[in-house]
Amino acid sequence: MIVTLDYESELPLYSQLYDEIVRGIADGSLTSGDSLPSVRSLAGDLSINLHTVNKTYQRLKQEGYVQIHRQKGAVVQPLGSVPATPEFRAMMSRQLRSLAAESVCRSMEEEEFVEQCRSAYRSLKGEDPS
């Protein structure tokens, strides 16, 4: 599974890496039991700081997406093992409100907004976006 980072993006590198790995778990590129590279190895491959990778792995662990084993390192957990907690729903609501606000400001129709959301969700599930 290939991850791409933009070194000049406003979004922090650890955040980009986190999003990429979660996307990989969602679309099946990373499956239950897959071992992520060691912190040192991934930091070298992506030319980023060790602490950036470590921070990403710790956040993935806190959210329940991976478990950190002494010998295997970070191991992906089964899909669905992380429930949609009230905290997650609250975060999702905040982010959607921001996106919705920008869409309204840019005169985007509700149908198009909903269609974009549906398409993004379905593409991760491997379903036909239409």
Summarize as ranges the residues that interact with other proteins (CB under 8 A): 1-8, 21, 24, 29-30, 34-37, 39-50
Q: Which is nearer to other proteins, 34 or 113 (CB)?
A: 34
- Give the span between the Cα atoms of 1 and 33, in whole angstroms: 14
Could you give the residue ranges of the DSSP H alpha helices within 8-109? 13-26, 39-46, 50-63, 86-105
Do residues 43 and 49 touch, judged by C-beta distance below 8 A? yes
Give the shortest CB-1-to-other proteins separation in angstroms.
5
Q: Which is nearer to other proteins, 6 or 111 (CB)?
A: 6
Give the shortest CB-106-to-other proteins separation in angstroms.
27
Q: Which is nearer to other proteins, 31 or 95 (CB)?
A: 31
Give the shortest CB-126-to-other proteins separation in angstroms.
18
Q: Which is nearer to other proteins, 51 or 118 (CB)?
A: 51
Do residues 111 and 73 touch, judged by C-beta distance below 8 A? no
Q: What are phi and psi of 15, to 5 degrees?
A: -70, -40
Give the shortest CB-114-to-other proteins separation in angstroms.
31
Q: What are phi and psi of 35, to 5 degrees?
A: -95, 130
